[in-house]
Amino acid sequence: MSDNTIKIMFLGDIVGKPGRLAVKNYIEKLENNNKPDFIIANVENASHGFGLTQKNYNELLSYGIDCFTSGNHIWDKREIFTYIDTADRLIRPINYPVNTKGRGYGVFDSLKGKIGVINVLGRTFMNSYEAPWKLLEYAISEIKKDTNIIIMDIHAEASAEKICLGKYYAKKGVSGIFGTHTHVQTADEKIYENFCAYITDAGFCGDVNGVIGMDYEVSINRLKTLMPERLDISDSGVSQINGVIIDVDVLTGKAESIKRINEEIKIKEEK
């Protein structure tokens, strides 16, 4: 790979311990010529499926992940309010109200230069979040003062909304736009506008035999009985790794390629 190209890996929603261990094993086993220069992962479900504890934040950092995006579940563990302002690798969606703790975008260092990362929530079939347009325009303009490489995580329910945002912000000079939230990887990876790497949903990292990472029996009982039975993590010992890896021109921020990641890994319980 050319010195003018940076390899960036984006991992879909990490779900619970099976997801965390799968990511650890996957990163450790990457061969030198396949190791990315920068790794981003969505972690809003990393702590038993709901939210992110400070312990798990530090654990994931130790695996070599450089930046964490999130979504509507980032607040599910109350301790997030005590540490999010000092967690310099973690961003939350940009379109929460003014004065919400944390930040919606950031610029991060890599050995090949600076990388801007933005997180945004969709609004179709979701809660009533702030309109993202002016917020994203501002974030993009600020990041471009430091770098032309910009990655955006669109955490949204509706595929059509993600596609619209992808097409729109590809024209604004965003290098990579990756959907999250549904935990189901789509097969529509492409380069928009001959510039921006895009996928509607990157998928998830977690147990392969559950229901988007959750226990099947509990999930089917909720559907059959309509009772709000507590969801629990699926843990069969086999996990999947979903995401994408892209090559980006360091100077222009133009994405040169995108490839889906979809692998299964056997997980051994850590003692």
Residue 36 has pLDDT above 70, yes or no: yes
Residue 224 has pLDDT above 80, yes or no: yes
Residue 259 has pLDDT above 70, yes or no: yes
- Give residue 160's domain range: 5-266
Residue 271 amino acid letter: K
Q: Rounded CA gap, 161 and 157, in Å?
A: 8
What pLDDT is recorded for position 32?
74
Range of lowest pLDDT (153-167, 195-209, 214-228): 214-228
Range of lowest pLDDT (33-37, 157-161, 215-219): 33-37
Average pLDDT over residues 65-89: 97
Confidence of residue 1 (pLDDT cuts 50, 70, 90): low
Number of domains forming the structure of the chain = 1
What pLDDT is recorded for position 269?
60
Question: Is 183 considered catalytic here?
Answer: no
What pLDDT is recorded for position 3?
79
Average pLDDT over residues 221-248: 94
Range of lowest pLDDT (27-36, 100-109, 115-124, 225-234): 27-36
Closest-CA residue to 203 (of 150, 261, 148, 256): 261
Residue 170 has pLDDT above 70, yes or no: yes
- Selected catalytic residue, list 73, 155, 181, 183: 73
Average pLDDT over residues 259-263: 98
CATH code of the domain covering residue 149? 3.60.21.10
Range of lowest pLDDT (134-138, 178-182, 229-233): 229-233
Confidence of residue 270 (pLDDT cuts 50, 70, 90): low
Q: Is residue 245 part of a domain?
A: yes
What pLDDT is recorded for position 31?
80
What pLDDT is recorded for position 47?
98
Percent of the chain with pLDDT over 90: 94
Closest-CA residue to 111 (of 37, 16, 29): 37
Q: Is residue 271 part of a domain?
A: no
Q: Is residue 67 part of a domain?
A: yes
What pLDDT is recorded for position 228?
87
Q: Rounded CA gap, 157 and 159, in Å?
A: 7
What pLDDT is recorded for position 271?
46
Taking the CB of residue 239, how many other CB atoms lie within 10 A of it?
A: 32
Confidence of residue 2 (pLDDT cuts 50, 70, 90): low
